[in-house]
């Protein structure tokens, strides 16, 4: 039996999610015995237009060239899986959707006419059908190993949609809201990170995107009670996963509250 063919593609992003593949350690060696990697530029393997069984996509769509390339990749892939906050929810570069990107370009570059970018940054599913999404900024090797294992066995990967708070309790971390009054986004954010930030005394900043049934209104009221004004509460929802409708709605509702 020929091995399934896999590709890893990069769009507008920082490359951090592709590192989750390279950071797999021994699992990467095992993976290479099970799949035939046909394109992975960060690892030096080039074959962008080859037909594959699974295409993993990092990054969001932010240039006209991106629009054309993602359509080619979709046409060449049986399954398309997005990895990371940029691909699933726009990433930090999508914050320009909230501003006048052309004015920024004109202010930053001496010759802005050479900059080719779309007015709006979009997640991958806004442009082509996506079969599965792995959330996080960055995704971690555990997620990649689990998803690849499921896909190679013809099983839909587990969609982890619990809230970070659930994981926080499982890990026996001390709640930073209760103990230190920090503005934690864990109550509305999906898990997958192992509650990494709270375990180190940091507030979650929602990089895994919205959890199942997120109560953004209740969290906004709690953040207000901690002393944040509306604009600061809106910013809490506009991190790397800012292009998710539920977080955009929450930011819109809170932004003008004193």
The residues binding ligand SF4 (CB under 6 A) are 13-14, 16-17, 58, 84-86, 91, 137-138, 164-165, 168, 173, 175-177, 184, 186-187, 195, 198, 204, 240
User: Which C-beta is closer to ligand SF4: that of 54 or that of 183?
Assistant: 183
Question: Least Å distance between CB 49 and ligand SF4?
Answer: 22
Maximum distance among all Cα pairs of the chain, rounded to whole angstroms: 64
User: Which C-beta is closer to ligand SF4: that of 4 or that of 166?
Assistant: 166
Contact assessment for residue 244 and residue 230, using Cβ atoms and an 8 Å cutoff? no
Question: Least Å distance between CB 153 and ligand SF4?
Answer: 26
Question: Least Å distance between CB 196 and ligand SF4?
Answer: 10
d(CA 17, CA 119): 25
* Full DSSP string of 82-122: EESHHHHH--GGGGGGGS-HHHHHHHH-S-GGG----SS-B
User: Which C-beta is closer to ligand SF4: that of 186 or that of 214?
Assistant: 186
Helices (H), the chain: 18-22, 26-34, 64-76, 85-89, 101-108, 141-152, 164-170, 176-180, 196-199, 216-225, 230-237, 245-254
Mapped onto helix, strand or coil, the DSSP state of residue 61 is strand
Sheet with 36-40, strands from edge to edge, namely 36-40, 5-10, 52-58, 77-83, 132-134
Question: Least Å distance between CB 37 and ligand SF4?
Answer: 19
Nearest residue to the partner ligand SF4, using Cβ: 186
User: Which C-beta is closer to ligand SF4: that of 5 or that of 187?
Assistant: 187
User: Which C-beta is closer to ligand SF4: that of 3 or that of 170?
Assistant: 170
Burial category of 20 from C-beta neighbours within 10 Å (exposed 0-12, middle 13-18, buried 19 and up): buried
Question: Least Å distance between CB 174 and ligand SF4?
Answer: 7
Question: Least Å distance between CB 80 and ligand SF4?
Answer: 17
User: Which C-beta is closer to ligand SF4: that of 1 or that of 10?
Assistant: 10
Question: Least Å distance between CB 106 and ligand SF4?
Answer: 25
User: Which C-beta is closer to ligand SF4: that of 68 or that of 202?
Assistant: 202
- Of 251, 133, 135, 136, residue with least CA distance to 197: 136
């Amino acid at each position: 039996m020929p091995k399934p063919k896999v590709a890893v593609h990069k769009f507008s992003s920082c490359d951090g999610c592709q590192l989750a593949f390279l950071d797999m350690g021994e699992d990467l060696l095992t993976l290479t015995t099970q799949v035939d990697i046909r394109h992975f530029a960060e690892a030096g393997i080039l074959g962008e237009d080859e037909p594959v069984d699974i295409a993993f996509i990092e990054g969001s769509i932010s240039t006209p060239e991106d629009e054309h390339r993602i359509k080619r990749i979709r046409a060449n892939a049986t399954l398309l899986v997005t990895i990371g906050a940029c691909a699933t929810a726009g990433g930090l570069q999508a914050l320009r959707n909230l501003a006048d990107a052309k004015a920024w370009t004109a202010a930053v570059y001496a010759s802005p006419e050479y900059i080719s970018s779309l007015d709006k940054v979009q997640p991958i599913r806004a442009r082509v059908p996506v079969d599965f999404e792995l959330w996080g900024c960055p995704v971690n090797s555990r997620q990649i190993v689990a998803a690849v294992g499921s896909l190679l066995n013809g099983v839909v990967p587990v969609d982890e949609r619990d809230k970070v708070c659930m994981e926080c309790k499982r890990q026996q971390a001390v709640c930073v809201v209760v103990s230190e009054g920090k503005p934690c986004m864990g109550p509305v954010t999906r898990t997958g990170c192992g509650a990494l930030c709270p375990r180190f005394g940091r507030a979650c900043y929602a990089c895994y995107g919205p959890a199942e049934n997120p109560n953004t209104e209740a969290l906004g009221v709690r953040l207000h009670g901690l002393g944040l004004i509306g604009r600061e509460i809106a910013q809490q929802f506009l991190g790397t996963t800012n292009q998710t409708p539920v977080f955009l709605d929450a930011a819109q509702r809170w932004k003008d509250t004193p």
